[in-house]
Amino acid sequence: MNQVDLAFTPALEQAQLIRKGDISPLELVQLYLERIEALNPQLGSYFTVASDMALADAKAKTEQLAETTDTSKLPPFFGVPIAIKDLRAVEGLPCSFGVAALKDNIAEYDDGVITRIKQAGFIILGKTATSELGSLPYTEPPGFPPARNPWNLDYTPGGSSGGSAAAVAAGLSPIAQGSDGGGSLRGPAFCCGLVGIKPTRGRISYAPAGDFQSGIPSIGPMGRTVADAAALLDVMSGYITGDPYWLPDPEISFLEATDQQLDNLRISFATSIKPIGEASATCEKIVLETVQRLEGMGHLVERGCPDFSEIVEPFKTVWQAGITSAGIPLEALSPMNRWIAEQSGTAGEYLQAVTKLQVIARQIVGFFNNYDVLVLPTYLHPPIRVGEWDNLSYEETLNNIINWIGPCPPFNATGLPAIAIPAGFDEKGLPVGIQLVGPPASEARLLALAAQLEAANPWINNRPTI
């Protein structure tokens, strides 16, 4: 296998190659560090490259592997590299949250999810780019190079997990951690041709921090295959003492779920989002093509979608409060985020918005009494250019954001699981995709269906020309 093929090999397969002795953790880390050095200046996918830490960990694991007689007892991703979004704390590495003033903010602890990633045997390559405070769906924070889409460097990889998406899509990491507060993981997966999972609220812990924005954001996995994303979800999932939300462990692992045979499902779909409007012709087309595949598999598919009209304003209120709640002086933030913070209301208005979201969420979750899965475009039109909205007013930018990411925030508000998967390309050669949404705690079913679609429309061999 040549070095480029190895860099694009799924993480689960890399783990097997390590166990069989075909590749060492050190060789694999060196490969990715070389690719990062060569390509990251163009992509802006990493804020911090943890070369020394990664090499030390890789050397130790390579030595451990040489002394191991039963590799079946090794952690599942022993020696496999991973990238971490720079909203999560990794001990000894900077944690900037995309704020230029915090570039030298060194974390003194690991977040709970990072502990689990390390326990699974991963080697952390570095911290990936995020929009400032994770607030925007493109990754261009002041004081950092903009993150760019490996499929076309003039375009965004999305945000706020844009760096993680660009790194995986360009072969600068086999897999990555991201997070999703309104499409921040699903959107970059859409833009870069990846699988991204926003799990059910409570599936992955935010320990040691408490609740944030009333459970709207979720941590999640990003990979090139459904199986990789499922296996990383297995690693990251689980209750940590004191979590405000929790779920029972699944009956089988999420990775096992990708091999499950499904009965014929009741599936609804839509290509328009009330009150926002219609998907672009490209995004409508890929939804309809997906519907044809699902019907060919024997699933019962019909048009239908909840009305999200009442969600937009209370969601904006909660989202805007996230900027002020960060506790960072406004003068240290970008003009856009300062403007967002200035729109933030009182504590009473915030709580009223949360209550409204919870009432509306009941109606949306009730929709799934009649359907097993909802198929929607992930975003309503293909990726935008880097800096495309720079000269617009803040109000115009916000309206453009809403009109792009509209299918995503309702499922943050409801806490429902959703999986973004690739489904094709636009006329410029940029990836586009769809999302599968299910009732609470239905990740296993969504993963099984995503795996069916992956088999029917393989995307693993598609690579950007970079």
Q: Which residues are catalytic?
A: 85, 160, 184
What span, in angstroms and rounded, lies between the C-alpha atoms of 317 and 179?
A: 20
What span, in angstroms and rounded, lies between the C-alpha atoms of 65 and 20?
A: 10
Tokens of 436: 């599968």
What span, in angstroms and rounded, lies between the C-alpha atoms of 182 and 309?
A: 16
What span, in angstroms and rounded, lies between the C-alpha atoms of 159 and 164?
A: 9
Cβ atoms < 10 Å from Cβ of 441:
18
Residue type, 76: P
Q: Which helix (H) or strand (E) segment is 374 a member of?
A: strand 373-377
Torsions phi, psi for 368 (to 5 deg):
-80, 5
Q: Which of 125, 127, 134 is closest to 158 using CA atoms?
A: 134
Report strand pairing: 195-198 vs 266-269: unpaired
Distance in angstroms between the alpha carbons of the first and the last residue of the chain: 19
How is 181-200 classified by DSSP, letter by letter? SSSTTHHHHHHHT-EEEEPP
**Residue pair 45/172 in contact by the 8 Å Cβ criterion:** yes
Cβ atoms < 10 Å from Cβ of 31:
17
**Alpha-carbon distances, residue 406 vs 219, 291, 312, 411 (angstroms):** 20, 20, 9, 10
Residue type, 395: E
Cis ω before 383 (30° cut-off from 0): no
Work out the angle at residue 309's Cα, subtended by the Cα atoms of residues 303 and 312, and round it to the nearest 5 degrees. Answer: 125
Radius of gyration of the chain (CA): 21
Helix, strand or coil, per DSSP, at residue 199: coil
Report strand pairing: 277-278 vs 373-377: unpaired
What span, in angstroms and rounded, lies between the C-alpha atoms of 437 and 199?
A: 10
Cis ω before 208 (30° cut-off from 0): yes
Residue type, 407: P
Instruction: Please report where in the chains the tokens 């040489």 appear, as a residue.
Output: 66
Instruction: Please report where in the chains the tokens 């590749």 appear, as a residue.
Output: 23
What span, in angstroms and rounded, lies between the C-alpha atoms of 133 and 160?
A: 8
Tokens of 318: 């909660």
